[in-house]
A and B are shown apart, each in its own frame.
Chain A
Amino acid sequence: MTLKDTAGKLPRMDFKLLWMRFTKSPAAVAYALSALLFALTIIINPKGFNNNFIGSLILLTVLLAISSAGQTIVLIGGGLDFSGGAVMSAAAIFTSFTMDSKDGLFLQVLVMCLAMGAVVGFLNGFFVVKIGLPAMIVTMAVSNIVSRLQYVLTAGSPAGWAGPAFINSVIHRFFDVIPSIVLYAAVFFPIVFWLLQRSRFGKQVYLVGNNKQAAYLTGVKVNWVIIATYVISGMMSAFAGILGAGYKATARVDIFSEYAFTSLVAVIVGGTTFSGGVGTYGGTIAGALLMTVLSNLLTTLGLPQTMRDILNGLIIILLLMMYNRSKAVRQ
């Protein structure tokens, strides 16, 4: 193939080659589509293009990217986690409930929420591995349980307020533009990168996702790895929920439930495959940006909520069709 031969010597401007490389990188496509939709948004509503618009775009992208991290890991490992939204909501409720407008409780909240996420994740993983139920069914069921438990805690009404300093640590704008949530991202993103790309565990996740039987016969403790992906996913969703409470200041039941689906789409659009073994967190971040820009565009169009949801759904189907087509052919 010419692709392989010329790949090493880039300087020669080969447009066709560059185009092929571009279309082979889902992250690059997602960024390009994001830029396109972003431009469209500004053209439609030039007045809306201000510091606040950029700031909230970054904030929402980071929040979605963080909430999609667990899903990325689980999907690469060959699983599926639909409980992310419920765990996020539960963590958010727990945060605002515990903080109750007081500061200085962050560490306590963090430990409790991560523990809660880990327990939910373990249940997911345990039922998937040991009982052998389909991941979608298990995580949906667990997700429902977590949702109902939120009612038990709050009786359905909004629960308390996050601490003011904590809220500020999420939504403060540096130079009036960049939201302070990027500081959390500066810690969180490298951890995920290390976990997936530079740790032995991450490599095991890829092997298990690509070929479970081969991984088993190569000596990978497959069940352990799969359960671990769900535990990590639960903890990461819980962390996203804490930040979500800071962003929304207060929380109610199922406040982030739509993140279960949105994060899944962001991960897929970012190049992680449903069949497992393929994908990167960098791609997921690009996917999160695309989903956020898309949602902004639909808001800018000024359509009623129902129309927005319908359009959003149609566009997502279109995106997924595009990505499914480029799936590599197996021998």
Chain B
Amino acid sequence: MIQLLDISKTYGAVQALKQAHMTVAPGRITALLGSNGSGKSTLIKILAGLVSPNTGQVLLDGQEVFIRSGNDAKALGIATAFQDLSLVPMMTVEENLLLGDEPTRLAGMLDQGSIRQTVASLLERFSLKCQPQDFVQTLPPSTQYMLEIAKAVHRRPRVLLLDEATAALHQDEIDVLFKILRQLRNEGVAIVFVTHRMHEVFELCDEAVILRSGETVKSGPVSDFSLDDLVYYMTGQRMQEAAAYEGLTHKAGQAPLLTARAISLPPRVKDITLEAYAGEIVGIGGLEGQGQSDFMRALLGASQIFSGQIHFDVAKAQFKQPADAIKAGIGFISGERNREAMFADRTIAENIFAGNTAKGRRFTFLKKSAVNRFANQAVDTYQIKVGRIQDAASTLSGGNQQKLVIARWIAMQPKLLLLDDPTKGVDIHSRLEIHQILRQCADDGMAVIISASDTDELMDIADRIYVFYEGMVSGMLEGENKTHEHLVACMMGVCHIQPERQEGGA
């Protein structure tokens, strides 16, 4: 029996957990539920020894324990299958499965016979068709996730943590996994199961713990909850039985600026059809990893679609690389600021000017004053708080960094602006400012497509919302259809809203 009591954890200004509590009993499968950013992963990481809580206690069989490292967790019999995998891509299946746990003989010699036997039986148990000598990076994502779980199970843990283990798995693999998990439960293992798929909760789990904004709002046996209850506790909103409404074609007569038809891009994007008109803000909703990012990158030409058609500005668009899409009048803002948008070592001026830097003749003379004027104008227009524009961009706060990136693109006046979860980790004030800027742009005739993991944000800003679920559009919400309840229902994949659009209209 593991108990977490009054656990709080802050990352900088963000409070990830607020006196959260959870009890995990042996021989039970406990579902840990909550929407994005509710603190599930943080709770898992505390148990795995990757994160130390600011306050609170962890009790193991009534005794307080301190899990300060992965080794501590291992010593206590806690094993974790991580959402972002703990496999070494360049090592083989065999090496990964037994990493740090290799059977040895005299003088630390590896016991090859025992290794081969153990790995073979593990692979068979998980119905994995890969060879022990395959390199992990060559395997499909779903197999890698199964290996991650197999690796955790092999440790014979007392407590097994699975953080969104099924997100990347196929149905047959899920069946195998569930069989194994039930078996482990019957052997007395305590299992924590994080998932976004509600039906799995009812199919597999015995207990449920629900987090919202870092607090434990409800816990108890799964049999005490209905689907409606679960969604209510997770989101704070009652879900309505939604029937498919007739959609409104308020843009009839106008040709869409962007048409994406039946786009597929394995493994995440399966079949996406979407339209965007000049002057509107189109929202893309969905739980994390339902293909939103991949779809946006496909529009930008950063990855090539497998099948489907994209029309942009009446012409058929086949962008080989982002440079082509940007030349055609598309802008892209990533929420992964540090990795994909910021030039942290360069000055604020250079960061704002970057969109311009990328475009146009390379070997022309750029006046320093012109660059600075461009930057100063953007700083004034978008009220980015800066010391001096010659300071490094890394001196700015997160919200201002994001405004900087947005200013970079809006100053370029693209016809279509793509934003991939742009306000991730941005404070509420900056977020509102960004919304105002985007609305202004749309009013001026720009088409804006914005994906967001936050449902409130989508409701606030989007004219229409496409909800992605497992690589497909589970609903297109507009007009009176655009309600929080519909959005949540479509995100969970429990409802489908496809308005009947007049084909002649477009």
A interface vs B, CB < 8 Å? Answer: 4, 7-8, 194, 197-201, 203-204, 206-207, 210-211, 213-221, 277-278, 328, 330-331
A-B contacts counted at CB < 8 A amount to 108
Distance in angstroms between the alpha carbons of A108 and B227 in the assembled complex: 82
Chain B residues near A214 (CB, 8 Å)? Answer: 334, 339-343, 354
14 contacts between A and B (CB under 8 A): A200-B362, A203-B354, A207-B343, A207-B357, A210-B346, A217-B332, A218-B332, A219-B323, A219-B327, A220-B323, A220-B358, A277-B345, A277-B346, A331-B344
Instruction: Report yes or no: B340 in contact with A201, Cβ–Cβ below 8 A.
Output: no
Chain A residues near B361 (CB, 8 Å)? Answer: 200
Instruction: Report yes or no: A210 in contact with B323, Cβ–Cβ below 8 A.
Output: no
Distance in angstroms between the alpha carbons of A220 and B408 in the assembled complex: 14
With A204-B362, A328-B345, A331-B338 as given contacts, are A221 and B321 in contact (CB-CB < 8 Å)? yes
A98 to B: closest C-beta gap in Å: 29
Judged by a CB distance under 8 angstroms, whether B207 is at the interface is no
B421 to A: closest C-beta gap in Å: 14
| CB contact between B368 and one of A198, A215, A220, A221 (< 8 Å): that residue | A198
Closest 7 CB pairs of A and B: A219-B326, A219-B358, A201-B362, A203-B357, A210-B343, A220-B358, A219-B323
| CB contact between A203 and one of B302, B321, B325, B366 (< 8 Å): that residue | B366
B364 to A: closest C-beta gap in Å: 6
Distance in angstroms between the alpha carbons of A276 and B350 in the assembled complex: 16
Judged by a CB distance under 8 angstroms, whether B387 is at the interface is yes
| CB contact between A200 and one of B360, B395, B408 (< 8 Å): that residue | B360
New A-B pairs, 7, CB < 8 Å, besides A4-B395, A198-B367, A199-B365: A4-B388, A207-B343, A211-B344, A216-B322, A219-B322, A219-B325, A331-B338
A327 to B: closest C-beta gap in Å: 10
Chain A residues near B388 (CB, 8 Å)? Answer: 4, 7-8
With A203-B353, A210-B344, A328-B345 as given contacts, are A218 and B364 in contact (CB-CB < 8 Å)? no
Chain A residues near B357 (CB, 8 Å)? Answer: 200, 203-204, 207, 218, 220
Chain A residues near B391 (CB, 8 Å)? Answer: 4
Distance in angstroms between the alpha carbons of A316 and B180 in the assembled complex: 60
Instruction: Report yes or no: A330 in contact with B344, Cβ–Cβ below 8 A.
Output: yes
Judged by a CB distance under 8 angstroms, whether B300 is at the interface is yes
With A201-B362, A214-B340, A330-B344 as given contacts, are A207 and B354 in contact (CB-CB < 8 Å)? yes
Instruction: Report yes or no: A206 in contact with B332, Cβ–Cβ below 8 A.
Output: no
| CB contact between B387 and one of A4, A197, A200, A211 (< 8 Å): that residue | A4
Residue of A with least CB distance to B364:
A200
Residue of A with least CB distance to B341:
A214
Judged by a CB distance under 8 angstroms, whether B179 is at the interface is no
Judged by a CB distance under 8 angstroms, whether B11 is at the interface is no
Distance in angstroms between the alpha carbons of A18 and B392 in the assembled complex: 19
Residue of B with least CB distance to A200:
B362
Distance in angstroms between the alpha carbons of A121 and B18 in the assembled complex: 57
Distance in angstroms between the alpha carbons of A215 and B340 in the assembled complex: 8
| CB contact between B358 and one of A204, A277, A328 (< 8 Å): that residue | A204
Residue of A with least CB distance to B391:
A4
| CB contact between B350 and one of A8, A194, A203, A221 (< 8 Å): that residue | A203
Instruction: Report yes or no: B339 in contact with A213, Cβ–Cβ below 8 A.
Output: yes
Distance in angstroms between the alpha carbons of A255 and B395 in the assembled complex: 46
Most B CB contacts (10 A, CB to CB) among A197, A207, A277, A330 go to A207
Chain B residues near A206 (CB, 8 Å)? Answer: 343, 346, 350
With A206-B346, A210-B344, A331-B338 as given contacts, are A218 and B322 in contact (CB-CB < 8 Å)? yes
Chain B residues near A328 (CB, 8 Å)? Answer: 345, 392, 394
Chain B residues near A200 (CB, 8 Å)? Answer: 357, 360-364, 366
Distance in angstroms between the alpha carbons of A8 and B321 in the assembled complex: 42
Instruction: Report yes or no: B365 in contact with A198, Cβ–Cβ below 8 A.
Output: yes
Q: Which of B268-311 contact A (CB under 8 A)?
A: 300, 302
A279 to B: closest C-beta gap in Å: 10
Chain A residues near B346 (CB, 8 Å)? Answer: 206-207, 210, 277
Most B CB contacts (10 A, CB to CB) among A204, A207, A214, A277 go to A214
Most B CB contacts (10 A, CB to CB) among A8, A219, A277 go to A219
Chain A residues near B368 (CB, 8 Å)? Answer: 197-198
Judged by a CB distance under 8 angstroms, whether B359 is at the interface is yes
Distance in angstroms between the alpha carbons of A136 and B350 in the assembled complex: 29
Distance in angstroms between the alpha carbons of A201 and B361 in the assembled complex: 8
Distance in angstroms between the alpha carbons of A107 and B364 in the assembled complex: 25
B451 to A: closest C-beta gap in Å: 15
Instruction: Report yes or no: B355 in contact with A218, Cβ–Cβ below 8 A.
Output: yes
B356 to A: closest C-beta gap in Å: 8
With A210-B345, A211-B343, A328-B345 as given contacts, are A218 and B362 in contact (CB-CB < 8 Å)? no
Instruction: Report yes or no: B358 in contact with A218, Cβ–Cβ below 8 A.
Output: yes
Chain A residues near B355 (CB, 8 Å)? Answer: 218-219
Chain A residues near B340 (CB, 8 Å)? Answer: 211, 213-214, 217
Chain A residues near B334 (CB, 8 Å)? Answer: 214, 217
Instruction: Report yes or no: A198 in contact with B366, Cβ–Cβ below 8 A.
Output: yes
Chain B residues near A219 (CB, 8 Å)? Answer: 322-323, 325-327, 355, 358-359
B7 to A: closest C-beta gap in Å: 26
Distance in angstroms between the alpha carbons of A121 and B350 in the assembled complex: 28
Residue of A with least CB distance to B368:
A198
Question: B361-395 toward A: CB 8 Å interface, digit per residue (1/0)?
Answer: 11111111000000000000000000110011011
Residue of A with least CB distance to B324:
A219
B456 to A: closest C-beta gap in Å: 27
A132 to B: closest C-beta gap in Å: 14
Distance in angstroms between the alpha carbons of A258 and B266 in the assembled complex: 51
Question: B398-410 toward A: CB 8 Å interface, digit per residue (1/0)?
Answer: 0000000000100
Residue of A with least CB distance to B394:
A331
Question: B50-65 toward A: CB 8 Å interface, digit per residue (1/0)?
Answer: 0000000000000000
Distance in angstroms between the alpha carbons of A207 and B354 in the assembled complex: 8
Chain A residues near B323 (CB, 8 Å)? Answer: 219-221
Distance in angstroms between the alpha carbons of A211 and B357 in the assembled complex: 14
Chain A residues near B342 (CB, 8 Å)? Answer: 211, 214
A99 to B: closest C-beta gap in Å: 31
Residue of B with least CB distance to A225:
B362
Most A CB contacts (10 A, CB to CB) among B300, B339, B354, B387 go to B354
Q: Which of B396-432 contact A (CB under 8 A)?
A: 408
Distance in angstroms between the alpha carbons of A210 and B338 in the assembled complex: 11
Question: B190-234 toward A: CB 8 Å interface, digit per residue (1/0)?
Answer: 000000000000000000000000000000000000000000000
Most A CB contacts (10 A, CB to CB) among B326, B355, B358, B392 go to B358
Distance in angstroms between the alpha carbons of A197 and B346 in the assembled complex: 12
Residue of B with least CB distance to A203:
B357
A62 to B: closest C-beta gap in Å: 25
Chain A residues near B387 (CB, 8 Å)? Answer: 4
A78 to B: closest C-beta gap in Å: 11
With A203-B353, A331-B394 as given contacts, are A217 and B341 in contact (CB-CB < 8 Å)? yes
Residue of B with least CB distance to A278:
B345
A191 to B: closest C-beta gap in Å: 11
Instruction: Report yes or no: B363 in contact with A201, Cβ–Cβ below 8 A.
Output: yes
A32 to B: closest C-beta gap in Å: 23
Residue of B with least CB distance to A216:
B322
